[in-house]
A and B are shown apart, each in its own frame.
Chain A
């Protein structure tokens, strides 16, 4: 299998604070992980591609200083939302790709619902 664990599943934080979301590949090593954001009734928007041992690649319009991504090991990537504001409230989902498995290699975490109050 290819299992991706994401934690926490939901978090409420105060405006101006930072929140860290973890994404772990449990039974495989993921050199690449992806972070998505989804607003209500909208599709998944890729925020960044996380590469183990190197800097993340951010999509156009995503503030790299606000959304810090660290892929320190082959099984863990973290997304930190810094100085969160209510407009950052969203559903954040990570995805990891299991190498050598075409098609079925893209597995999603269960998502994190962030609410900034």
Chain B
């Protein structure tokens, strides 16, 4: 058990669909993150939530909309996506300390048709 669970593991959607990615952490952490991992590109930090408040948004297009209803759950709502949005989306959580490592889920593999 990884401690951070992401669902679904795979998602195929058309550009006009609306879907949501879910992340749940069972580690008692107070910060959660969304990352995008594309082939041959560095890991991109998308959003950061600390104590359920968004503290960072790295110029992510508005077609990605995060939601953090409590410290254990994080969602990424998707609408009107583009083919270049196809990637592996990783969720992570951590305690908010300088030396606190992040714990990652196994990701959602998203394919946009």
- Do A and B assemble together? no
Task: List chain B positions with a Cβ less than 8 A from chain A.
Answer: none
- A residues in contact (CB < 8 Å) with B: none
